[in-house]
Amino acid sequence: MTERISVGQLYPGSLRTQQLKRNDAPSQTKDGTFQHVLQNELVRFSHHAEQRLRQRGIEFQPEQLAKIQSAIDKAASKGAKDSLMLINDTALIVNIKNRTVVTALDEASMKDNLFTQIDSAVIIS
C-alpha cells in the first residue's frame, strides 16, 4: 500500500520552508550547513502553488516528490532558471534557483493553456 501525501503534510503547518534569518548562525550537519540543505535538497511550494494543489485535488506520493527533486537537480545542472515539469497528468512551473514550485495545473487546467516565461521543460516518468 502506498502512502499519499496531501497538502499540509509535507511540512508541519505549511509546504513552504522557513528561511533562516541573516543573524541566525546556521546549524552544521555532516554534509554542510543547514541552510545549504534547505536550499539544495528540498522542493518548496509557493503559497500560490499550495492553493492550486488544494483547489485541484493534486496529491504527490513520496516517490513522486523524489522524482521532482531529481528533475530540479538535472535542470539546475543544465543552467535552467524556470522550468515546466510534467509528471503524470500534472504540470508544475518550477523556479530552479529557489527549488520552488510556483504553480501547479491538473490535466483539465492544462488544456488550451500557453506556458510562457520558461526556459526549459522536463518530462518526469
pLDDT per residue over 31-76, tens digit each? 556 555 555 568 999 999 999 999 999 999 999 999 999 999 999 9
Give the three cell numbers for residue 67.
522524482
Q: Residue 15: its pLDDT value, please?
A: 44
Q: Is residue 84 classed as helix, strand or coil in its secondary structure?
A: strand
105 within 8 A of 48, measured Cβ to Cβ: no
The reported pTM is 0.70
Average pLDDT (105-111) is 93
Cα separation, 5 vs 27, whole angstroms? 28
Q: How confident is the model at residue 4 (pLDDT cuts 50, 70, 90)?
A: low
102 within 8 A of 66, measured Cβ to Cβ: no
Q: Residue 32: its pLDDT value, please?
A: 56
Unique residue bearing C-alpha cell 541573516: 22
Average pLDDT (19-42) is 49
Residues 6+ apart with CB under 8 A from 38: 17, 20
Cα separation, 68 vs 43, whole angstroms? 8
Query: pLDDT higher for 18 or 28?
Result: 28
